[in-house]
Amino acid sequence: MKTTKLMTLAGAAAVAVAFARADEPMSDDAMKERIVRFVTLPSRMCGHALVDFREEFRSRKLTNRSWFDGDTNRLARLIAELAQTNDMEMSSQMIESLGEYGTPAQLPFLYSCATNPASWAMDATPTIGDRAMKAALRIEGVTSNSVDLLRQYLLAPRQKPFVDWDRCNVCKYFVSLANAVPLSSEGTNSVMGCLLQYAPLNNVCPKELDGVLTSFDPSYGCSRRRLAVFRAVNNLGVDEFEINYVTNAINELVAYPEANLPD
């Protein structure tokens, strides 16, 4: 009997200790380890047979994990801290996660990443700059501040040609956000003005960027602005995959005739 009682008490004590430990808050370092495992696992897998699993894994939420303490501000802070590393791949993945879990408190950090040319010093796309821009836009939306950020991002000195593909993708994402919300005429002009500052500089993917501009402002399709952009791009030199599109567009606009093109 005494042995049974002792065993019962010992079991109860063990359960109590287990519950006590479960109730203890997880340290920042411990939670960071969980975040890293969750975010980086898909990238550590390989093989075509696992593609479907990776996509399913990405669709799961950090905030649904049993170890998540419900503090979204803390989660965003820890992800931002993990992003501040010399490991470019890790930084890129964490910055992408900030697009989903970040808060306005991380905007200064994302702004600095988006406008720092060192953020594009990767040998593959998307770069940190691209992911930082998209994360900032998901958090902030289309505002005068985000338009200014986009301008800085687009006009910063380019390190490698593929950066213009990233920039074009960011423009496309920005325009998708701008088309989804009502903008004042001032806001519309601000966005279009920003895009038109960059368009004459992009001779890497002018066709793709042209589609972005016309989707935002249909009047751009038959305008002097468009002709000026294509002439500038053509002067920079366009590769064989884009040259026909550029020269055909120029010929069509000139034949309008050019003198009758609206601004």
Tens digit of each residue's pLDDT, the chain (263 residues)? 545 444 444 444 444 444 444 556 789 999 999 999 888 765 544 444 444 444 444 557 887 777 788 889 999 999 999 999 888 888 889 999 999 999 999 999 999 999 886 665 555 556 788 899 999 999 999 999 999 999 999 998 776 666 888 899 999 999 999 999 999 999 999 999 999 999 999 999 999 999 999 999 999 999 999 999 999 999 999 988 899 999 999 999 999 999 899 99
pLDDT for residue 13: 43
240: phi then psi, degrees, rounded to nearest 5:
-65, -25
Amino acid 17: pLDDT:
41
Closest to 229 in 3D by CA, of 186, 189, 263, 187: 263
Q: Which of 68, 141, 37 has the alpha carbon at shortest distance from 99?
A: 141
Residue with tokens 């042209």: 210
pLDDT of residue 18: 41
What pLDDT score does 119 carry?
65
The predicted structure's pLDDT at residue 123: 53
CB 212 within 8 A of CB 168: yes
